[in-house]
């Protein structure tokens, strides 16, 4: 089955329909959107479509729900074993449900889900249809078909519809959503929302603004950053129905440019080993343990080209906390907090204690530990074509570094002979240290906005000429 893959979605969508924004949900902050349903166009039929990029793996996580109480609810999302589940209960009885055999555990990819419900269909097995990236899902570990002409809860008047929460303060979604659509009164095919790219075969979004949405229908593009329940809010409905959602615990920084047509780098939760916690869409790492550190590897690697990102040491603790990049062949060995404990081959990392791994040895960089404090921003510039790592503190490059110097590697923190290796961003957190990362869509407020030469990203400091944000559109062109 063609999937939305991080390495080629940029090329697959170049020149086509582009999605500008997503909304970043954080389960630790209890983020969600909510609205009250109205009189439906047809309670027997609906279509729900959403592009989703998960950040947390191995937890119950709700994409959309109506939850009156434990016995009266309808919810769709991930369960802890990685499967997708839809469950529709009335008075404690299961009216309709499914649970996929397939697992969904890739925090680097955008998935497109379409759930089409038509209880008027004479064929019981066709009364609900689930599509993943344009292809109907047919393998379920369990399923219950609704009775004919059974009204859905999502299109029942006066109930509460939630995005990103099960209801009752539980099972919050952790990750990104974009192009979220509800159609009231029609059960549509996935081709109403996407198409297969003619060159790559990858499923990609199309313009849905011309669809008939019905009374309870909505289209959430997340164009706005406000928190009001109106056209200026993050939950603004742009279908023309003005079925706006109320914002709960989300803030302006949760409006993201990481979307299903330009996928940005994030850290992956399944690599942190329990010693660190990732939050805010895989962009904030917090150390949990005072006895060991937790390392997380990013979703994209760098083999060719020149790449830039920023991070902020938000909380320092006893000089611990590391960040940089590591060779994919060395990543499996792991990294300790504070002093680099191995040294790790081909690891290029700096700690808040001033310890640095410079590709094969551990060393102390005199004065660096006292240079920065909580809230400072460090910039990473990796020149994979010439083999050089540059780093700045609040815009000033160490050792008078010049990332644009090419083969001379002027002021590079570390230089190496280019050999085709792939480096991936990495973070190690320990004992309460907090590191916040900006690969182009920051999880924290910045005072200025700088883009790369192709107009991608939102950075505090100027991106060096010829360097680019780690996103799929850039990787397709320069990586």
* Rounded (5°) CA angle 71-77-79: 85
Same domain, yes or no: 222 and 281: no
Answer whether 29's CB lies under 8 Å from 159's CB.
Answer: no
For residue 207, pLDDT over 80 is answered with yes
**Domain boundary pick from 256, 281, 301:** 256
Q: From CA 279, how far away is CA 288, in angstroms rounded?
A: 13
Same domain, yes or no: 277 and 192: no
Residue 149 domain flag: yes
> Which CATH number is 27's domain given?
2.60.120.200
Structural domain harbouring 273: 269-478
**Domain boundary pick from 233, 256, 279:** 256
Answer whether 479's CB lies under 8 Å from 303's CB.
Answer: yes
Residue 261 domain flag: no
Residue 343 domain flag: yes
Q: Which of 257, 248, 278, 262 is nearest to 426 (CA)?
A: 278
Quickly state the pLDDT bin for 137 (edges 50, 70, 90): very high
State what percent of residues in the chain have pLDDT above 90: 72
pTM of the predicted protein model:
0.93
Same domain, yes or no: 290 and 332: yes
Same domain, yes or no: 243 and 312: no
Same domain, yes or no: 406 and 292: yes
Query: What confidence score (pLDDT) does residue 195 get?
Result: 97
For residue 459, pLDDT over 90 is answered with yes
Answer whether 309's CB lies under 8 Å from 423's CB.
Answer: no
> Which CATH number is 371's domain given?
2.60.120.920
Give pLDDT tens digits for 65-115: 999 999 999 999 999 999 999 999 999 999 999 999 999 999 999 999 999
For residue 164, pLDDT over 70 is answered with yes
* Cα of 298 vs its chain's centroid, Å: 12
CB atoms under 10 Å from CB of 221, counted, come to 20
Would you call the peptide bond into 333 cis, given omega within 30 degrees of 0 as the criterion? Answer: no
Residue 474 domain flag: yes
Q: From CA 355, how far away is CA 80, in angstroms rounded?
A: 38
Same domain, yes or no: 302 and 219: no
Tell me the H-state helices in 73-163. none
Same domain, yes or no: 149 and 246: yes
Same domain, yes or no: 353 and 238: no
Which residues neighbour 458 within 8 Å (Cβ) at sequence distance 6 or greater?
257, 438, 440, 441, 442, 446, 449, 450, 451
What's the maximum distance between 2 C-alpha atoms anywhere in the chain?
A: 76
Give pLDDT tens digits for 212-250: 999 999 999 999 999 999 999 999 999 999 999 999 999
Residue 1 domain flag: no
**Domain boundary pick from 228, 256, 284:** 256
How many distinct structural domains can be found in the chain? 2
Three-state DSSP class for residue 269: helix
Same domain, yes or no: 245 and 280: no
Q: Using CA atoms in the order 105, 107, 109, 114, what is the torsion angle rounded to 10 degrees?
A: 60
Backbone angles phi, psi at 270, to 5 degrees: -75, 0
Quickly state the pLDDT bin for 275 (edges 50, 70, 90): confident
Residue 4 domain flag: no
Residue 181 domain flag: yes
Quickly state the pLDDT bin for 150 (edges 50, 70, 90): very high
Beta-bridged to residue 285, according to DSSP, are: 278, 435
For residue 3, pLDDT over 60 is answered with no
Same domain, yes or no: 341 and 390: yes
Give pLDDT tens digits for 398-435: 889 999 999 999 999 888 888 888 999 988 887 778 88
Same domain, yes or no: 249 and 274: no
Same domain, yes or no: 311 and 411: yes
Residue-wise over 88-116: b if at least 16 C-beta within 10 A, else e? Answer: bbbeeeebbbbbbeeebebbbbbbbbbbb
Residue 2 domain flag: no
Q: From CA 202, how far away is CA 8, in angstroms rounded?
A: 8
CB atoms under 10 Å from CB of 293, counted, come to 27
């Amino acid at each position: 089955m063609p999937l939305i893959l991080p390495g080629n979605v940029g090329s697959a969508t170049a020149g086509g329909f582009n999605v500008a924004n997503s909304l970043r949900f954080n389960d630790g902050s209890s983020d969600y959107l909510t609205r009250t349903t109205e009189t439906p166009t047809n309670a027997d039929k609906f279509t729900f479509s959403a592009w989703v990029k998960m950040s947390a793996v191995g937890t119950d996580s709700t994409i959309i729900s109506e939850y009156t109480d434990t016995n009266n609810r309808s919810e769709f999302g991930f369960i802890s074993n990685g499967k997708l589940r839809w469950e529709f209960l009335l008075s404690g009885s299961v009216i309709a449900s499914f649970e996929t055999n397939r697992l969904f555990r890739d925090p680097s990819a955008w998935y497109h889900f379409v759930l089409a419900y038509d209880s008027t269909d004479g064929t019981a097995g066709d009364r609900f249809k689930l599509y993943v990236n344009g292809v109907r899902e047919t393998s379920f570990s369990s399923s219950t078909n609704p009775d004919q002409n059974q009204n859905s809860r999502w299109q029942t008047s006066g109930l509460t519809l939630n995005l990103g929460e099960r209801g009752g303060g539980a099972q919050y979604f952790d990750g990104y959503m974009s192009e979220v659509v509800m159609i009231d009164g029609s059960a549509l095919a996935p081709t109403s929302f996407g198409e297969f790219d003619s060159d790559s075969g990858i499923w990609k979004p199309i313009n849905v603004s011309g669809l008939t949405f019905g009374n309870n229908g909505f289209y959430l593009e997340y164009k706005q950053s406000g928190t009001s329940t109106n056209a200026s809010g993050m939950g603004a409905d742009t279908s023309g129905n003005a079925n706006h959602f109320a914002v709960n615990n989300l803030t302006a920084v949760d409006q993201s440019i990481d979307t299903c047509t330009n996928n940005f780098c994030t850290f992956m939760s399944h690599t942190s080993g329990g010693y660190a916690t990732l939050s805010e869409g895989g962009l904030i790492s917090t150390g949990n343990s005072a006895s060991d550190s937790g390392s997380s590897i990013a979703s994209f690697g760098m083999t060719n080209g020149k790449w830039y990102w920023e991070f902020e040491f938000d909380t320092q603790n006893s000089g611990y906390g590391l960040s940089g990049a590591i060779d994919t062949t060395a990543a499996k060995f792991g990294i300790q907090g504070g002093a680099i404990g191995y040294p790790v081959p081909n690891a290029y990392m700096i700690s808040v204690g001033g310890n640095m791994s410079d590709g094969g040895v551990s060393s102390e960089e005199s004065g660096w530990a006292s240079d920065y404090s909580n809230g400072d921003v460090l910039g990473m510039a990796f020149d994979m074509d010439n083999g050089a790592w540059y780093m700045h503190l609040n815009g000033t490059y160490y050792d008078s570094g010049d990332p644009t110097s090419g083969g001379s590697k002027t002021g590079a923190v570390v230089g190496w002979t280019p050999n085709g290796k792939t480096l991936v961003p990495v973070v190690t957190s320990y004992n309460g240290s907090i590191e916040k990362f900006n690969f182009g869509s920051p999880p924290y407020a910045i005072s200025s906005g700088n883009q790369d030469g192709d107009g991608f990203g939102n950075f505090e400091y100027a991106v060096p000429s010829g360097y680019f944000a780690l996103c799929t559109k850039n990787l397709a062109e320069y990586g």
